[in-house]
Amino acid sequence: MNRTVSLLIALAISVASLIGAESFVSGQTIGFGSAISQTLPKIVKIVGSGGTRGLEAYQSGVLVSADGHVLTTWSYVLDTSVITLTTYDGYKHEANLVGFDPRLDIAILKIPVTESLHFNIDNVSTIQAGDRVLAFSNLYNVATGNEPVSIQQGFISSVSKLSAVRGVWQSPYQGKAFLLDAMTNNPGATGGAVTDRSGNLIALIGKELRDERTKSWLNYGIPIENLRESIRSIIDGEKQGTTSATDVLSKGPTEPMTLGLMGVSLVPDIVKRTPPYVDRVASGSPAARVGLLADDLIIEVDGVMTPSTADVKQRLRSIDRDASVSLTAQRGNKFLEFTLRLGQ
C-alpha cells in the first residue's frame, strides 16, 4: 500500500465519524469518542527546517506538561532558529528547544503557555499484541491551522525490539517498540501519539524507517515507558547541556580547553541553536589521534549534553586544558566515546 492510499484511508476516517464510532471487540462494544475528544487538544503541529535537500519541514508533537513542554522526535526539522508550533485552538507559538536525547531520538520543546491540557506520562497502560489503539498525527501537513490532526485506528501487531525486527532499520533507537498495523510511517507523522482506548499515551510515533533492501516501511511507536526517565531529565534541566555564564567565570580554570587546542572546527554558528557538527579535524591534532571525524555530531562533553555549538564551547570553558576531555559523538546511527588529552 503506497502513501497516497494510506493518506486517503486516514482522511476517510474523519474526526466526526470517529467521535461517534464504536467497534465490536471480543464481544464488547467499545466507543472511541471520549479518547478522541480528550486527546486532540494535546496534539500539536510543528514547522521548522526543511533541510538542505527539500525534505519536509513539518512533524507532530504531544504536550506532556501543563507548562507547555512538548515531546517530539529529534530530527532535522528542529535544526533552525525558529520553530513554529500550532496548538489545537489554531494559535501559533514560537517554541524553544529545551533539550534532546539522540539515543532515544526524542526532543523536548517549550511554548509560553500555562495550564495546558497534556498527557500524563506517569499513567501506566498495560498494552500487548492484539490490543486496539489510536494514532494521532499531522501526517502530510493536512492540518495547518485549527483543523484537527488526522486519526488512524489499528492494532498492536507485535511487541519487539527494533534490533530484532526483520530488516535493516537505520535508527539510533533499537529498543522495545510497538509494531502497528496502522499506516503511521508517513511524512509529518513522526512525533505523534499512539493511545489506548482510554486516551492514555502509550507510545510516540517514530521516525520514518525504510528497509533499503526490501523497500518496505515500518509502522511503529516507541513506548512511553522507555522515554519517561529521559523526558523528566530534559524538563528538569539535566540534559540541557548548559552551564551559567556566572559559574563559568567564577569557577572556570584560568587556562581552559578550547576547540582550537583540540584541533576541531565546528560548523558555522549561524542560528540560535546550531547543532555541533564537526566541520574539520586538523591533521595530527589530539582530536585526529583519537579518531574524531568531520560530520560527527558532538552530543556530550564530559557527560553533559551539548545541544548546540555554543553549549560545546561553554562547556569547554569549564575544563582545564591540562585535563582529559571525554566526548560522546554520533556518527550515523552509532554513538562513539572519545577521550583526548593535549600532548598525547
Quick one: which of 22, 26, 24 has its CA closest to 34? 22
Please tell me whether residues 174 and 261 are part of one structural domain: no
Please tell me whether residues 151 and 298 are part of one structural domain: no
Per-residue CA distances from 207 to 17, 139, 166, 219, 251 (Å): 28, 12, 17, 9, 41
Three-state DSSP class for 55? coil
Determine, yes or no, domain membership for 240. Answer: no
Query: Of the residues 183, 205, 235, which one is the last residue of a structural domain?
Result: 235
Determine, yes or no, domain membership for 81. Answer: yes
Taking the C-alpha atoms of residue 190 and residue 184, their distance in angstroms, rounded to an integer, is: 8
Please tell me whether residues 206 and 251 are part of one structural domain: no
Please tell me whether residues 266 and 329 are part of one structural domain: yes
Q: Mean pLDDT over residues 277-300, rounded?
A: 93
Three-state DSSP class for 100? strand
Quick one: which of 222, 134, 135, 141 has its CA closest to 187? 141
142-151: burial string, b at 16+ Cβ within 10 Å, e else: bbeeeebbbb
The percentage of residues in the chain with a pLDDT greater than 70, rounded to a whole number, is 80
The pLDDT assigned to 114 comes to: 85
Query: Of the residues 169, 201, 235, which one is the last residue of a structural domain?
Result: 235
pLDDT confidence band for 249 (50 / 70 / 90)? very low
Which of 7-11, 57-61, 304-308 ranks highest by mean pLDDT?
57-61
Q: Which three cell numbers stand for residue 148?
A: 484537527
Please tell me whether residues 219 and 272 are part of one structural domain: no
The helix/strand count (H/E) of the chain reads as 8, 22
Please tell me whether residues 164 and 251 are part of one structural domain: no
Determine, yes or no, domain membership for 198. Answer: yes
Determine, yes or no, domain membership for 131. Answer: yes
Please tell me whether residues 250 and 185 are part of one structural domain: no
Q: What is the mean pLDDT of the chain?
A: 82
Q: Indicate the number of domains in the chain.
A: 2
pLDDT in tens, 48-88: 887 655 678 999 999 999 999 999 998 888 878 789 999 99
Taking the C-alpha atoms of residue 22 and residue 153, their distance in angstroms, rounded to an integer, is: 12
Q: What is the pTM of this model?
A: 0.74
Phi (first) and psi of residue 192, to 5 degrees = -80, 180
Please tell me whether residues 181 and 276 are part of one structural domain: no
Query: Of the residues 182, 206, 235, which one is the last residue of a structural domain?
Result: 235
Determine, yes or no, domain membership for 199. Answer: yes
Determine, yes or no, domain membership for 176. Answer: yes
Q: Amino acid letter at 295? A: D
Determine, yes or no, domain membership for 70. Answer: yes
Q: Where are the alpha helices (DSSP H) in the chain?
A: 3-12, 15-19, 33-39, 224-235, 245-251, 259-262, 286-290, 309-316
Please tell me whether residues 221 and 250 are part of one structural domain: no
From the centroid of its chain, how far is CA 239? 14
56, 109 contact by CB (below 8 A): no
46, 58 contact by CB (below 8 A): yes
Per-residue CA distances from 324 to 249, 251, 278, 344 (Å): 20, 18, 19, 10
Please tell me whether residues 280 and 218 are part of one structural domain: no
Please tell me whether residues 214 and 266 are part of one structural domain: no
Q: Mean pLDDT over residues 320-326, rounded?
A: 91
Q: Mean pLDDT over residues 319-342, rounded?
A: 89
Residue 243, pLDDT above cutoff 80: no
Determine, yes or no, domain membership for 188. Answer: yes
Structural domain containing residue 333 = 245-340
Q: Mean pLDDT over residues 110-115, rounded?
A: 91
pLDDT confidence band for 199 (50 / 70 / 90)? very high
pLDDT in tens, 217-238: 888 999 999 999 999 989 987 6
Please tell me whether residues 29 and 49 are part of one structural domain: yes
Which region among 108-112, 168-172, 291-295 has the lowest average model confidence (pLDDT)?
Answer: 168-172
CATH number for the domain spanning 252: value is 2.30.42.10
Burial class (CB in 10 A: 0-12, 13-18, 19+), 256: middle
